[in-house]
Amino acid sequence: MINLPNEFEEKMKALLGDEFEDYIKCYDEPRYYGLRVNTEKISVEDFVKICPFEITPIPWIDNGFYYDGEKISPAKHPYYFAGLYYLQEPSAMTPANRIPIEPGDRVLDVCAAPGGKATELGARLNSTGVLIANDLSNSRARGLLKNIELFGLGNVLVLSEEPGKLVNYFPEYFDKILIDAPCSGEGMFRKDRKMVRAWEEHGPAFFAKIQRSIITQAAQMLKEGGMLLYSTCTFSPEENEQTIEFLLEEFPQFAICEVDGYEGFSAGIPKASLTGNEDLKKTVRIFPHKMEGEGHFIALLKKGEENCFSKETAKGEKILRNKNGKEKKLPEELTEFLKKINRIFDPDRIDIRGENVYYMPEGLPKLNGVRFLRSGLLLGELKKRRFEPSQALAMNLKKEEYENVLDLSVGDDRVIKYLKGETLDVEDLVSLQAKGWYLVCVDGYSLGFGKLSGQILKNKYLPGWRWQSS
């Protein structure tokens, strides 16, 4: 049995009443492991057909599944390297699942690392609109970038900035904003016992100040009629109901919305707020003794009414577009490579910075001075009159979109060899005359590029992503 701080136990007794004993018992139960299907690459139905290990549906997440993390390691399977799923604690899947993303939305994930929410938001946009994924920590943002590229997402900017700085660049810009706020982590005590020590160092009062700053900054970046989802993985009223209460006081144009329900969800607790606002019942609390997951809090809010200008070109924005009316001239080596892709690329959206070539989302404001890790889809690099495609582009491509493909079955030992960065003999798959850049796939899903010559594939799989034997 875990030793919980006395202060925390007393607070939970007051919060749960007669349910406290049931809550305490859950600390003796095993944790739950989950994976979420990347619907940008594969349908849930098709994934179930090819999944190589036993999974059970998570009942409140349409693309989520439980697996036995004590017996299997999904991160050591080629399908993971193909970006077909993300490993995520089941209750943590809820925020990105419950914010109503629509095609063409401009979406902000404020505290996005390591990418569990951002990858789902990006997949639900289905290659439309734009996702801004931000995390203050540059090191954590690097992990975020990898997960976004692994998922094959293209209409994404990965930033590492203070949320307050972004207000100046994105005033009333976003249709949807998700804040999975830094918190005291009480809901994760059962999953990660180290969180208890962290709680003792920085408790709810410390995080409540940070959360109120972030949520009010985010409110200024949301359009009229837009929706904001706030979530934490803690039980503390100061960080949950009282933070929402603070937002409503500062921005009275916000209203709490109903969240798509599930029988295991608990209503927010008005008496846990300072004003007893009954609308707080529309927020959601997830308790581990009521659901097969950990602890979470979710609040969905709407900002006023719809305004009169469109998503495509917001009033007063400076759009990164070629305005001279002339056809944009691209390097010949880039043009030749793009001919191999069965997809239309708008030349005005291609941005060349030094050697790097990016495909930018539409409708962005000027972002001079913002700290980027990635802006748009990195197509590749221009090097001495040749173009080298990127790992990000490989993951963004579907098998049928590229001219030259080497599709290996998951049981082919060359799949693991490729993921380890080894050279491949593919004489059984190509002619002696075949050469150039090939997209390597496993069972039809992209893994990366290789360069073919004389029936030998020179491996171009990104070194930092390679399969580790241990």
Over residues 340-357, mean pLDDT: 96
Q: What is the pTM of this model?
A: 0.94
- Choose among 182, 186, 209, 211: nearest CA to 197: 186
- Is residue 219 within 8 Å of 212, Cβ to Cβ? no
Higher-pLDDT residue of 200, 320: 200
Q: How far is CA 145 from CA 6, 125, 157, 376, in A?
A: 40, 17, 9, 11
Say if residue 443's pLDDT is above 90. Answer: yes
- Active-site pick, 51, 111, 183, 233: 233
Enter the DSSP assignment of 16: H
177-194: per-residue pLDDT in tens? 999 999 999 999 988 888
Show Cβ contacts of residue 332 under 8 Å, excluding neighbours closer than 6 positions.
none
Q: How far is CA 31 from CA 167, 264, 293, in A?
A: 39, 17, 7
d(CA 36, CA 320): 34
pLDDT for 308 equals 32
Tokens 């660049």 found at: 169
Q: Quick check: is 51 catalytic?
A: no
Enter the DSSP assignment of 115: S
d(CA 431, CA 252): 68
d(CA 257, CA 282): 6
Over residues 460-466, mean pLDDT: 96
d(CA 239, CA 231): 9
273-300: per-residue pLDDT in tens? 999 999 999 999 999 999 999 999 999 9
| Residue 224: pLDDT band with limits 50, 70, 90 | very high
Domains of the chain: 90-185+202-396 (3.40.50.150), 399-465 (2.30.130.60)
